[in-house]
Amino acid sequence: MRRCVSWVLVAAALTGCGSNRERPRYPSDATVYQCEGGKQLVVQYLDRGKSAMVFYPDREFRLDQVSAASGARYSNGRTTLSTKGRDAVLEENGQALFSGCSAAG
């Protein structure tokens, strides 16, 4: 019986003891950027930097690498991620959604 109780405790700890607020799950190799306004941008670079997955708490989408004068740039025609060194900006239709972003850590 003792073994069953410990598994229940482990399961409760892993699920947050029934909490309705579920934390987003991102790949362990994703880059987390801290941005202006306390925002957080999470990006996973794929295929040796040829594409990037952008993660929001409720959805994710892929951007493909496009030419950039400096740094790296990824786009799907509507949304563009520009990076240079540890800094990043995410724009949609020319409007900055995430700006002043710097890679955490």
Kindly indicate the confidence band of residue 2, based on its pLDDT and cuts at 50, 70 and 90.
very low
- 105's CB contacts (< 8 A; 6+ apart) are 32
Task: Please classify residue 54 by burial: count the beta carbons closer than 10 Å to its beta carbon, then call 0-12 exposed, 13-18 middle and 19+ buried.
Answer: buried
Topology of the domain comprising 26-103:
Lipocalin (2.40.128)
Polymer length in residues for the chain: 105
| pLDDT number for residue 47 | 94
| pLDDT number for residue 57 | 87
Rounded mean pLDDT of the chain?
A: 83
pTM beyond cutoff 0.85: no
User: Is the pLDDT reported for residue 92 higher than 50?
Assistant: yes
Q: Do residues 66 and 56 make contact, with C-beta atoms less than 8 angstroms apart? A: no
Which residues are 16's β-sheet partners?
none
3-state secondary structure of 29: coil
Distance CA 54, CA 66 (A): 16
